[in-house]
């Protein structure tokens, strides 16, 4: 006999989307918000010459500035009001989360529940403003020193550019929060996703044009396309991979009836941290080099050395990127999954892992397994993000075909589809309940 859950899963299809009014509203709101974001990436900063800036950008696009442009959805290339994108907010989130591990006050706020989370979010917003002002001012100074990009340099340009770029970041932060609460999916991830996906067609056209001009061989283009397909398949496989711990529940008596013991599984994802490690790693690599990239050709010698060494394919960039990805894979997993809390919940409900004593020993065992699973997850993220970057750095292929961008696209898409399916399943379940209640009322 087919269970209700299996019946729902069998009937789950997107034809039900037309009947889920709430889901349709959320999807339309998400699409509208992302459209607003994309329009903002085409509004240039006042007071700059786009043609001259495009030449300056092309001269530096091969380094980390090119990756910054990828996350900004082309906003750096066009020097738009959303050029900073959401990166200062991500940097602020990293700093606040790191501080919660060393500050007793912030750690106490984290444990307070909803009220504590609101306070931490407010601290994150304040820090976002500070970081955005710092980066915006650095960009404004860099633009003034980049030849004839600025038509009327001076204090007014510095102030107006700083205010405009900071305001653009704060608006995107607010927009991302609105998408999360009123739309479908995580708003911050979707903003980055939309920027990457929107630039993919032009990146593909650029790669094909290089092939037509003879700068890229046909064989190399085919290798990049095949590599992209293989990486996408590998990402899907690894994101669905789980280590399941057997959970046993003892026999229990309710009234005069004795219920047999049941068993279930505690799933531990291979990559619990999702796309957070590469995004966080990229954000931290972008933060200290913003000024250095905009002052290429001038400034202290260490600026020039940093700008050169942080180009794609350079050992310093690869080592830094690898180290940050591994660190954040473990760090974010430790934040989102608490073995002690999980063990306590199992103990309260009478569940236990066969052969492991409930309580502290269970927490230690879960932490032991999770740590080893995360090693594989961190290695997977490092492979996906670094190997394509190494290959592409020597072939002048656009960043959009790198492992980081493909990882973000695939993972965010999977998360979005999972939430849509959850909404549809919930709607179908409610419909079945209404029909059952209606039939019961008839008799």
pLDDT digits (tens, 9 = 90+) for 252-280: 655 666 666 677 888 888 888 888 888 88
Q: Is the pLDDT of residue 8 over 50?
A: no
Say whether pTM exceeds 0.95: no
Q: Give tens-digit pLDDT for 125-184.
A: 999 999 999 888 888 888 887 778 888 888 999 999 999 999 999 999 999 999 999 988
Three-state SS at 151: coil
Q: Is the pLDDT of residue 344 over 60?
A: yes
pLDDT of residue 415: 87
Residues with Cβ within 8 Å of 26's Cβ and at least 6 positions away in sequence, in order, are 182, 183, 184, 423
Q: If you compute the radius of gyration of the chain from its CA atoms, what whole number of angstroms results?
A: 25
pLDDT of residue 295: 52
- Taking residues 58-68, what's their average pLDDT? 67
Locus of tokens 């279930």: 264
- Taking residues 373-382, what's their average pLDDT? 92
* CATH node for 4-442: 1.10.3370.10
pLDDT of residue 398: 60
Greatest mean pLDDT among 60-64, 128-132, 346-350 lies in: 128-132
Residue 129: how many other CB atoms lie within 10 Å? 17
Greatest mean pLDDT among 26-30, 45-49, 285-289, 292-296 lies in: 26-30
Q: Is the pLDDT of residue 376 over 80?
A: yes
Query: Which tokens is 99 given?
Result: 């501080």
The count of C-alpha atoms lying within 13 angstroms of the C-alpha of 134, restricted to the half-sphere facing its C-beta, is: 16
Q: Give tens-digit pLDDT for 157-168.
A: 999 999 999 999
Contacts 24+ apart (CB under 8 A), 147-152: 147/52, 147/56, 148/49, 148/52, 149/48, 149/49, 149/52, 149/53, 149/56, 150/47, 150/48, 150/49, 151/47, 151/48, 151/49, 152/47
Instruction: Of 86-90, 236-240, 355-359, 436-440, give the lowest mean pLDDT range.
Output: 436-440
Percent of the chain topping pLDDT 90: 17
Mean pLDDT of the chain: 80
Residue 49 backbone class (left: φ over 0; alpha: ψ -120 to 50; beta: rest): beta
Element (H, E) at 269: strand 262-269
pLDDT of residue 437: 61
Query: Which tokens is 17 given?
Result: 């989307």
Please report, for the chain, the start and end positions of each structural domain, with discontinuous segments joined by +: 4-442
pLDDT of residue 399: 57
Instruction: Of 11-15, 36-40, 231-235, 423-427, give the lowest mean pLDDT range.
Output: 11-15
pLDDT of residue 3: 41
Residues with Cβ within 8 Å of 241's Cβ and at least 6 positions away in sequence, in order, are 269, 270, 271
């Amino acid at each position: 006999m087919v269970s209700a859950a299996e019946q729902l899963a069998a009937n789950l299809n997107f034809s039900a989307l037309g009947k889920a009014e709430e889901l349709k509203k959320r999807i339309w709101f998400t699409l509208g918000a992302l459209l607003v974001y994309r329009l903002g990436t085409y509004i240039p900063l006042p007071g700059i010459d786009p043609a001259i800036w495009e030449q300056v950008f092309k001269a530096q696009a091969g380094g980390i500035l090119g990756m910054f442009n990828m996350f900004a959805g082309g906003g750096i290339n066009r020097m738009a009001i959303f050029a900073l994108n959401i990166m200062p907010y991500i940097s602020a989130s990293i700093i606040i989360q790191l501080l919660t591990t060393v500050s007793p006050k912030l750690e106490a706020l984290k444990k307070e529940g909803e009220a504590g989370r609101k306070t931490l979010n407010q601290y994150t917003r304040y820090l976002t403003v500070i970081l955005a002002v710092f980066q915006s001012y650095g960009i404004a100074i860099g633009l003034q020193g980049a030849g004839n990009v600025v038509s009327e340099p001076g204090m007014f340009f510095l102030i107006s550019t700083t205010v405009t770029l900071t305001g653009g970041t704060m608006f995107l932060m607010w927009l991302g929060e609105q998408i999360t609460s009123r739309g479908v999916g995580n708003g911050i991830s979707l903003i980055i996703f939309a920027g990457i996906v929107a630039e993919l067609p032009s990146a593909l056209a650029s790669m094909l044009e290089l092939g037509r001009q003879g700068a890229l061989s046909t064989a190399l283009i085919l290798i990049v396309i095949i590599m992209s397909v293989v990486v996408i398949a590998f990402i899907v496989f690894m994101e669905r991979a789980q280590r399941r711990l057997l959970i046993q529940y003892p026999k229990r008596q309710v009234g005069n009836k004795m219920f047999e013991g049941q068993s279930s599984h505690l799933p531990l994802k291979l990559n619990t941290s999702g796309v957070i490690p590469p995004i966080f790693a990229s954000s931290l690599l972008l933060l200290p080099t913003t000024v250095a990239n905009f002052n290429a050709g001038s400034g202290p010698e260490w600026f020039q050395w940093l700008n050169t060494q942080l180009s794609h394919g350079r050992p310093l960039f690869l080592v830094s990127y690898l180290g940050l990805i591994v660190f954040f894979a473990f760090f974010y997993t430790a934040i989102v999954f608490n073995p002690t809390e999980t063990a306590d919940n199992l103990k309260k409900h009478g569940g236990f892992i066969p052969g492991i004593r409930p309580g502290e020993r269970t927490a230690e065992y879960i932490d032991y397994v999770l740590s080893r699973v995360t090693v594989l997850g961190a290695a997977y993220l490092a492979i996906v993000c670094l190997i394509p970057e190494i290959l592409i750095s020597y072939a002048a292929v656009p960043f959009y075909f790198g492992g980081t961008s493909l990882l973000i696209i695939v993972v965010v898409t999977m998360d979005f589809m999972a939430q849509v399916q959850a909404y549809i399943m919930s709607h179908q379940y409610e419909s079945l309940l209404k029909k059952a209640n209606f039939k019961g009322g008839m008799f």
